[in-house]
Structure 1
Amino acid sequence: MTFVEACCNTPPTNAEWVNMGVDKVLPTKVNGEDRLTYRTGPKDSKRGIIGVYDILGFHPTTYQFFDRLALANGGFQVSVPHVFKEAFPAAQLMGNRPALREWVFKHGDYKNSHIDALIRAAVKDLRADGCTSFSIIGQCWGAWIAVQAASEEDAVFLAAGGPHPSMMSIETVKDVRCPLILLASKDEDDMIPVLESVKHKNFAVESFHKRFENMRHGWCGGRGDWKDPEQFKAGLEAIQLFAEYFAKVVEVSEQQ
C-alpha cells in the first residue's frame, strides 16, 4: 500500500482562513484519554459528517474545506477529530517517502492508533447533538481511513470517500458497506476500477467519481491555496459534489 508520489514531496501552502468552527473535547474518552475534535456547521442539522484531514493535519484550506462543506446544501454538522496527537513534521519528511510512511503508520494506524475508537466517539458526539444520519469523508490518506471506518461490521455511514484519495485500490474497498464518492486530481491513479469493483454490492445510491485534471494532489487540504482562483473554483465544485451526494444518500435512506 503506497502513498501517491505527490503526497510525499508537496509541502503545505501558506493559505489563510478564519475558522468558523471550534475545537471541543469529545465527551467519550479514547483509550483512556481526552481527545479533541473540530466542530463546525449548523447545530440544528440532523445530518452528520465525520471528516479526516490529510497527513499534514489542520491547515487553513483544510479548515475552509470543512467549514464550507458544513454550510452547503442545507447544512451538516461536521466533526473533524484531531487524529494525530503530535504535529506532522513536514519540513523533515517531505521528499522522503519511506520516512513519511513510517511516521504516518506510527501515528495514524487505524487500529493501533485508536482512530477507529476516535471516529466512534465523534459519531456518538454528533448523535448526542441531534444527528440521525452520518457520512464520512477523508482527504488523501484520510480517504483510506474513511473507507476502513465504512467497512466495519457496525459501520453507521451512508457514504464514504474524499478528495484526492491516496492508497485507494480494489483491495482497499472490498469490504466497504456503503457507496463511495471519490474526487481525484491529476496525480492519483485511475479510480474507476475501484468504483466498478463495488457495483456488485448494489447500494441504493450508485458510487460517484470525477477527476479534476487541472488540480494537483491535496488541493482541498493542506496543500491547497484557494487564493488561486482556479483552485478556489475547483474546491467549491468539490464541496458541492460532496454535499449533494451526502444529502442524496440521506434522502434515499429515509425513503427506505
Structure 2
Amino acid sequence: MASFISACCNRAPAKAEYTPIGTMTQDASGMAYYISGSAKAKRGVVFLYDVFGLHPNAYQVADALALEGLRVVIPDVLEGKPLTSADMKQEAVLKDFKARRGTYAYCRPMIKAAIDVLRAEGCENIGAIGLCWGAKLAMCALGDQDGICVDSGVMLHPSMLELADFERAQGPILLLLSKDEADFTDMFAVASAKPFGAHSYMERFSKQAHGFCGARGDFANPEVVCDVNRALALTIAFFKTGSVTQLENPTAV
C-alpha cells in the first residue's frame, strides 16, 4: 500500500463540537454504523472517514449530504479504535496499520455490509465518499467488481492513491484536492479516458490544507467553511445528478 502524504502525519485533528442528527446502530453481524437521511431515498452514500474515525466533523459532513436527500451510512471500519495524532508519528504503528486493519481487504466486509444496508432499504444508486485514507478505500470499492457495485466515487483530500486505483475504476470520479496533495493530472486522465470519463471532475482547493473537510478541518474558520461548502455542493450535485456544475455560491451547509 502507498504511504500517507506528509501532511497527513503532521497535523492533529481539530477540536470540534457537533450533535449528529442520525443514529448509531449495528447490523446482524455486530458491525457498528452511523446512518442518516431519509429511509425513502433512492440514492445512497457509503461514507469512509479518515484515520481519526467518528470525529464530529465526519458526522457533520455526512449529515450535510443526508439533508440534501441522500441516505448516508458510515461503517465504523476502524471498529472503535481510530488512530491518534501520536500514532501518526510512530512508524511502527503506521506500518502495522497499512499492513493490516487499514487495508481494503480488512475493511471490505464492512463496506459491503454498509452497501447491503442501503440496498435493503431500496437505494438504486450507491456512491462512495472517502476522506484521506478513506479515499483509498472508496477508490478500491469503485474498482471492485466482486459484489460491491459502487456507482461513483468522491475522493476528498486523498492519501495513498496509486495509478492502479484509477485504472481499475468502474465509475465516474470526483477528485477534490487540497494544496498538500500531489499532482494527480496524469492519473486522473486515465479515469477520464474511460467510457464514463466525461462525468468525472477534478478541482484543487489551493488555500486549504490536507484534511480540511475531515477531522483536521477548522469548521469555525469562515474561509475553511466556504471551501467545505463548495466541496459539499460539488459532492451533492455529483451524487444526485451524476455531473458537476460550477457553482459560484455553494450553499450545502
TM-score by length of 2: 0.90
Cα contact 2:143–2:165 (8 A) shared by 1: no
1:195 aligns with 2:185: no
Q: Choose which of 65, 71, 76 in structure 1 pairs with 2:70.
A: 76
2:180 and 2:143 mapped to 1: Cα distance? Answer: 26
Aligned twin of 1:214: 207
Unaligned runs of 5+ in 2: 244-253
Amino acid at match of 2:240: A
Deviations 1:119-169 (A, max 9, x none): 111111111112111000100011110111111113422211321011123
Correspondence for 2:113 among 114, 121, 124: 121
CA contact (8 A) 1:110 1:116 kept: yes
SS in 2 for 1:8: helix
Q: Is the Cα contact below 8 Å between 1:37 and 1:79 reproduced in 2?
A: yes
Aligned to 1:145: 137
| Corresponding residue pairs, total | 241
Residues 55-107 of structure 1 deviation map (CA, whole Å, 9 limit, x = unaligned): 111111111111101123xx100001000124224143133355324334422
1: CA distance, partners of 2:83 / 2:192 = 39
User: Which secondary structure state, in structure 1, belongs to the residue aligned with residue 176 of structure 2?
Assistant: strand
Name the Cα RMSD after superposition: 1.7
Does the aligned pair in 1 maintain the 2:9–2:85 contact within 8 Å? no
**Aligned match for 2:126, one of 134, 155, 161:** 134
The 3 A distance-change label for structure 1 pair 97 and 7 is: farther
Partners of 1:37 and 1:218 lie apart in 2 by: 22
Q: In the TM superposition, what is the alpha-carbon distance from 1:211 to its structure 2 partner? A: 0.3
Structure 2 residue aligned with 1:181, among 174, 183, 191? 174
Aligned amino acid, residue 107 of structure 1: R
What TM-score, normalized by structure 1, do the two folds share? 0.89
1:176 CA drift (Å):
1.1
Q: Which 4+ stretches in 1 moved above 6 angstroms?
A: none
Aligned equivalents of 1:210 and 1:108: distance in 2?
A: 26
In the alignment, structure 1 segments of 5+ residues that lack a partner are 251-256
Secondary structure in 2 matching 1:69 = helix
More relative contact order, 1 or 2 (CA 8 Å, 6+ apart): 1
> Could you say what secondary structure the match of 2:86 adopts?
helix
Instruction: State, as a whole percentage, how many aligned pairs show the same letter.
Output: 33
* Alpha-carbon separation, structure 1, partners of 2:57 and 2:95: 23
AA aligned opposite 2:209: R
Instruction: Give the drift of 1:229.
Output: 0.7
